[in-house]
Amino acid sequence: MHHIDVSTVLRRTVCDLYSNLVTRPTGAAVRTEIEQLLREINGRTITVIDFSNVGLLDLSCADEIVAKLLLRYVPGAEQAEPDHEGYFLFRGVSDHHLDMIECVLERHRLALVAENEHGEPLLVGVVDDQERALWEVLLRHGAARPATLALETMRPLDVVTARLDALCRRRLAMRVGEDYIAVGVAR
């Protein structure tokens, strides 16, 4: 697991004096630096994008940093060009950050995994009730095979497998061998 502190990236790339993410050019500069850091990673990885030390986050920066970053890694997205199989966990997201992030996720029909103030993972963005329920069951298991989840959710195996694969494409879960793992599981 890799960790990127967004405020450190901001200070290094834009200005050493503040920790607010405002204006589209600022967001684009921060995202570009994050993408450069991600290029240095080989293979599959989960990267923690940490907003803990970020004060303000405006809508344009949320779009540039969060949405455009996710769009590079979601297969089938218009801007998808992943250098590797990247998954993200967003940490230190305040209620204010969350308002801006949810707005851009909705606009782009995206979802992500964020940690709440207690360090518990939760889905944010556009997910239907069945996706959310399956992801939550998977999260409780840590790692599980489709047959186990089908029995627990009382859904047909082919439906559960298709939904798990969809969660993987959206980078909300990953497949490791025969098992699926929800992004956000402590490993």
pLDDT at residue number 77: 65
d(CA 115, CA 118): 7
pLDDT at residue number 15: 73
Give me the chain's average pLDDT, please: 91
| Encoded tokens for 148 | 């186990």
Compare 44 and 105 and report the one with higher pLDDT. Answer: 105
Compare 159 and 83 and report the one with higher pLDDT. Answer: 159
d(CA 16, CA 171): 32
Residue-wise pLDDT tens digits, 55-110: 999 999 999 999 999 999 887 666 666 656 889 999 999 999 999 999 999 999 99
Q: Domains of the chain, with CATH numbers?
A: 1-126 (3.30.750), 127-187 (1.10.10.10)
Mean pLDDT of 155-182: 96
Residue 150: partners with Cβ closer than 8 Å, 6 or more residues away = 156, 157, 159, 160, 161
- DSSP symbol at 56: -
Residue-wise pLDDT tens digits, 11-42: 888 876 678 888 899 999 999 999 999 988 87
Residue 99: partners with Cβ closer than 8 Å, 6 or more residues away = none
